[in-house]
Amino acid sequence: MKSQRVLEPEDAKAQLRASIRKGRADRSERRLQEHAEALRDHVLALPSIERATCVSVYASRRSEPGTLPLIEALHDRGVKVLIPMLGDGLKRGWGIYQGAEDLLERAPGRPPEPSGDFMEQSALLEADVIVVPALAVDTSGNRLGQGGGWYDRALCDAAPDAPIVALTFAGELRDAAHPLPREEHDITVHAVITPQGVTRLPA
């Protein structure tokens, strides 16, 4: 029998991304809102979140696990919420969430950003918890991102004891017996949350 060609991690990731994005596109607005509210409730119940004074959360695009209900709830608690921002030349940085009306798509295809001051990438050191997007996560903590490597670079500035929590949809958490493709620069996560609940990982 002819052996199947083993893909390089980069090519295997590209195939997975295409498949997962196709599946995500089929969700209705109502279901996406329900998922966003469930994710909010699970994140807010984390002990690390209950103690936090500063949390980094990505601002979700339509097809991603929704974060606006979570961001608003943290803001209402008086928690400082750091939102990713892109500076000149795609420089990594952060902005402080000031309200839903201020969180807008500043350029086509980019995630929503606040309009306030651009903070250097080292501002992430202040975050007690970091909530990141993921297309998939396996039970070893390997995370499949969107492909730009933004978070893998940004997370190098995280506090060593800050939990990294990934949000995905049901079916995107995979058993480590069939691990996600991994490259040397990939940073693992400590927990994954789906609308169905929390899974803590050995990262």
Q: Please write the tens of the pLDDT for every residue from 108-127.
A: 878 899 988 999 999 999 99
Residue 163 confidence (pLDDT): 97
Residue 146 confidence (pLDDT): 87
Residues of the chain with pLDDT under 50: 1-3
Separation between Cα atoms, residue 129 and residue 142, nearest integer Å: 18
Please give the model's pTM, rounded to 2 decimal places: 0.92
Q: Which two structure tokens, joined as six digits, stand for 185?
A: 């620069």
Residue 149 confidence (pLDDT): 81
Residue 87 confidence (pLDDT): 78
Residue 19 confidence (pLDDT): 92
Residue 9 confidence (pLDDT): 79
Closest CA to 110 of 86, 91, 134: 86
Residue 1 confidence (pLDDT): 46
Residue 186 confidence (pLDDT): 86
3-state secondary structure 12-58: HHHHHHHHHHHHHCCCCHHHHHHHHHHHHHHHHCCHHHHHCCEEEEC
Residue 34 confidence (pLDDT): 96
Q: Which fold has domain 30-104+111-200?
A: Rossmann fold (3.40.50)
Residue 2 confidence (pLDDT): 47
Residue 203 confidence (pLDDT): 60
Separation between Cα atoms, residue 184 and residue 72, nearest integer Å: 35
Q: Please write the tens of the pLDDT for every residue from 32-71.
A: 999 999 999 999 999 999 999 999 999 999 889 999 999 9
Which string of b and e fits 1-23 if b means at least 16 CB within 10 Å? Answer: eeeeeeeeeeeebeebbeebeee
Between 68-76 and 29-44, two packed helices, what is the crossing angle to 10 degrees? Answer: 40
